[in-house]
Amino acid sequence: GAVVSQHPSWVICKSGTSVKIECRSLDFQATTMFWYRQFPKQSLMLMATSNEGSKATYEQGVEKDKFLINHASLTLSTLTVTSAHPEDSSFYICSASSPRSNQETQYFGPGTRLLVL
Amino acid sequence: GENVEQHPSTLSVQEGDSAVIKCTYSDSASNYFPWYKQELGKRPQLIIDIRSNVGEKKDQRIAVTLNKTAKHFSLHITETQPEDSAVYFCAARGDKIIFGKGTRLHILP
């Protein structure tokens, strides 16, 4: 149980285009999902906390107009990188809390590797 | 802001020996401390966690200790095996979860 999927697993796009990444909880309902960014050989940087049915809470320094987050259902959250530029190239990982683990444990998706040319 | 320090950043251990990774946290309200293992190109996987009302927890070769007074917690891996090679992240959760910078563990044959 507590499986989280992400799609796509990797994407290459031209500078200026927008990219949407989906995060799904497959066998549980996640009221809260988290979006992280990870640079090579570095730690997980929390970008935003996504709550179903409400606006996401963004961490300091993360542009909400640049990284649009939607959490329309209890099993799906999306991250859209708008007008992507090469500096947005990174590994983006989502996670979700499972109600079976007191909402504390986070289960991670497999990540999406974004390369902006 | 709140912070989690993790040491060492890199650790090489002979196969069969023990490995210890240490973390300190600054938010005294933190009450949940998970450890994640991330293999190259893969997702972080929860390997063990501990809550603030417990001082130690063990799961086979893996154990975690917590000292709330000193605000530090440690991961102990005994009888290390090649498949233990990975990056390990500690985290502390108060209002939100904060991750350490990770420890790259190499198990030497």
Cβ-nearest to B102 among A43, A93, A110: A43
A5-11 contacts at long range (C-beta below 8 A, 24 or more positions apart): A5/A109, A5/A110, A6/A93, A6/A94, A6/A109, A6/A110, A6/A111, A6/A112, A7/A112, A8/A112, A9/A110, A9/A111, A9/A112, A9/A113, A10/A112, A10/A113, A10/A114, A10/A115, A11/A112, A11/A113, A11/A114, A11/A115
Q: Does B27 touch chain A (CB under 8 A)?
A: no
State how far Cα B3 lies from the chain centre: 15
> Which tens digits make up the pLDDT trace of A32-42?
899 999 988 78
> Which tens digits make up the pLDDT trace of A40-72?
878 888 999 998 888 899 999 999 999 999 988
pLDDT given at position B42: 87
What residues of chain A lie within 8 A of the CB of B43, using their CB?
Answer: 93, 108-111
pLDDT in tens, chain B (109 residues): 788 999 999 999 999 999 999 999 999 999 999 999 999 888 999 999 999 888 999 999 999 999 999 999 999 999 999 999 999 999 999 888 889 999 999 999 9
Pairs of CB atoms within 8 A across A/B: 40
Interface contact flag, A108 B44, Cβ < 8 Å: yes
The distance of B98 to chain A (nearest Cα, Å) reads 8
